[in-house]
Structure 1
């Protein structure tokens, strides 16, 4: 990501996406979303193989077939307070991308974020924590192409120790991060962390 976005995203993923209104209404954790296992964490060596970078083009849609995601993408900007805005919570099948940063498919780190749930139930990235290494993420681009990413790792972090540089830092190849809420859940604070998917470009069509 570029400039101010790095800090802003850490704030928004820890706070605005993570109220856990559905779990709070149900009064229990019986409906908690899946969380990634240690087996899905990043290994010591990143896969060096990557498809050639694509020219910049805003994304319109994200698909992760293995967990049933097929959702439109809206552009997200920074608020007056310096935090990244979020998709409207009532639109549960809507995700957003940081439009002042890298577009998915070009060289760098593109950021997509969405809610795990809302007051009515599961939202777009409810099952993100169940994603496995090697899973395919497709992003439809406004230029008519599709950027195809392969998942390198799925990790969960406590909001108090969120690794900004690891998640938002610049990349030398086309990479993608998909972020939602996760970790422990507290009735007083909501979700206490974030699930982060790390992926890199492996093709296009």
Structure 2
């Protein structure tokens, strides 16, 4: 299912007519009026955590994460590891399941399958949402068959909320800090993937001018967000 136009007045409705493409982990909001072919082999430098993971692997047993009390600081709180199951972004009508992503032979993060437009991918060797560290989530903006899950990602604003339901039954709520566009040629991987000791989230998709010869967008749209709350599912 393609992302739908939100009903509230804060959405950027002109983006509905734009078709976009996500060729790798960092994909962005394009401004074309036609759909483009997908090159799933393209990408950006892998998350730093892929080089030097600092947390237990996904297979390690972990106790269920307690939900912090109202008196605890959510920003400094870190949940135990638990894989994400579903992402919801009410502002842009996103409601999608997850698939794990890994670093491919090219050294780039593999793209989610192109046969499912309503699917988000997360870097399985990095932090899971709510853990201390930076959790990386990516999704297509379009495929050859139409708009996809992160079609309107670039229209998010600071203060918008992103909810991710985890396997342990906890919903992590992230608040958007900023939405920025970077050239793929000079993608600031250290800034995007940096681990500052708190629970962070990065949503990544494609943007800027589309290069028909390279079958790739020239820029990346990155949403920076931090953990703002947790609750039972």
TM-score class, shorter: 0.7 to 0.9
Q: Quick check: 1:177 aligned with 2:202?
A: yes
Contact 2:25 2:110 in 1 (8 A): no
Listed as ranges, the gaps of 5+ residues in structure 1 are 1-10, 26-47
| Structure 2 portions without partners, runs of 5+ | 1-22, 38-72
The answer to whether structure 1 residue 109 and structure 2 residue 134 are counterparts is yes
Higher helix share: 1
| TM-score scaled by length of structure 2 | 0.68
- Residue of structure 1 in register with 2:187 after alignment: 162
Equivalences for residues 54-65 of structure 1 within 5 A: 54-65=79-90
Superposed displacement of residue 186, structure 1: 2.4
Q: Please list the CA deviations of residues 45-84 of structure 1 after superposition, one character each: whole Å capped at 9, or x if unmatched.
A: xxx9726221111101111000010010111112233322
Confirm whether residue 13 of structure 1 aligns to residue 13 of structure 2: no
Question: Match for 2:107 among 57, 68, 82?
Answer: 82
Matches within 5 A, 1:7-156: 12-13=24-25, 22-24=34-36, 50=75, 52-156=77-181
The answer to whether the aligner puts 1:203 opposite 2:215 as a matched pair is no
CA distance in 1 between counterparts of 2:199 and 2:138 reads: 17
- Say if 1:180 and 1:195, in contact at 8 Å, map to a contact too: yes
Shift of 1:171: 2.1
- Assess, with a 3 A threshold, how the Cα gap between structure 1 residues 57 and 14 changes in structure 2: closer, same or farther: closer
TM-score, normalization: structure 1?
Answer: 0.77
Aligned residue pairs: how many?
Answer: 171
